[in-house]
Amino acid sequence: MGEADLIQALTDHGFSLNESRAYTALLQSGPSTGYEVGQKAQIPRSAVYGALRRLVSAGAARSIAGHPERFVAAPAKTLLSLLRDRFDASMVRFETAVRSLDTDPPVPDAFSVHGYDRVLEEAKALIDGATSQIVISGWPRELTVLAEPLAEAVRRKVATYIFSHAEIPEDVPGTHFSYGHREEDLEAFWKHRFVLVVDDQRTLIGATEGSDTDNAVISETDAIAEITTSQIALDLTLLAQRASCDTSEVMAAILGDRVGRLDELFAKAPEAVFGERVAPTRKKRKKTG
């Protein structure tokens, strides 16, 4: 991470672009005049002093009296602690205000989100809320991003099953099922897609190409969760057939009692059909009279 990353991080936390540039310049240069900050940070002279004074007011910089006046950045650790305390206090105020309204808006059965970061944020939120089971079909890149919330879910004793055609990183917690291909090899054939089912009820299906055009649908419809889980179970079954492995226990865990009921139904099947059947042609009636 470099200068551009620091500027982006500061703007993400509410600082203006000029304030972020000015703080970064001060952090790199030490005590500086407004003119020197403007030159280094490429901030117009008419705007640089306003940006510096706002940094001083926010506790992100200090003013050194003199002629000319000089400015110095607050130490990064000090600013981090300050921002963290303010964020925590803000969250407490928000929580108090929300509770005072004493109302919960209706939650839609399904909604969509846009952008790679938002897709993964929603995936993390679903994982954080899991209580019994997580089933995932995804790529190593996205699984690595979600490794920490997955680890926390495993610590909560949430059964976690992960399928991927690519090799799953060892530091991603959960029970792994993988063909072991290299991610870059698979990218020549398929796009990044991510599927997540939580507690056999909540589902996320989305594109995770790493761009602002990515999107996902989050659903709390039972039928969608059931169909999606069955699709992942089918991928596991095909993998097991190729690897000559028994997945009966895994299927029972993922699909629950649906497996037993399905086996009983199949056992009673009078005849299996595989392939095309041609309907018999009807004989034309002969005209009489």
188-218 pLDDT, tens digit each:
889 999 999 999 999 999 999 999 999 999 9
Beta carbons within 8 Å of 104's beta carbon, 6+ residues apart: none
- Domains of the chain (ranges, CATH numbers): 3-77 (1.10.10.10), 110-267 (3.30.870.10)
In angstroms, the Cα distances linking 220 to 132, 216, 224 are 16, 13, 8
Rounded CA gap, 93 and 80, in Å? 20
- Rounded to 10 deg, the angle between the 34-41 and 45-58 helix axes is 110
φ/ψ of residue 137, rounded to 5: -125, 115
pTM, two decimal places: 0.66
Q: Which token pair is 81?
A: 């602690």
Rounded CA gap, 15 and 20, in Å? 6
40-80 pLDDT, tens digit each:
999 998 999 999 999 999 999 999 988 889 999 999 898 98
CB atoms inside a 10 Å sphere around CB 54: 16
Percent of the chain beyond pLDDT 90? Answer: 58
CB atoms inside a 10 Å sphere around CB 222: 13
CB atoms inside a 10 Å sphere around CB 6: 17
Would you write out the chain's pLDDT as a tens digit for each of its 289 residues? 678 889 998 998 889 999 999 999 999 998 999 999 999 999 998 999 999 999 999 999 999 988 889 999 999 898 989 888 888 888 888 888 877 876 666 666 788 999 999 999 999 999 999 999 999 999 999 999 999 999 999 999 999 999 999 999 999 999 999 999 999 999 988 999 999 999 999 999 999 999 999 999 999 998 999 999 999 988 988 898 888 888 788 888 888 766 555 555 555 556 655 566 666 666 666 665 5
* Average pLDDT, rounded, for the chain: 87
- Return the pLDDT at 13: 87
Contact assessment for residue 138 and residue 127, using Cβ atoms and an 8 Å cutoff: no
Helices (H), 140-257: 140-145, 147-155, 183-186, 222-243, 248-255
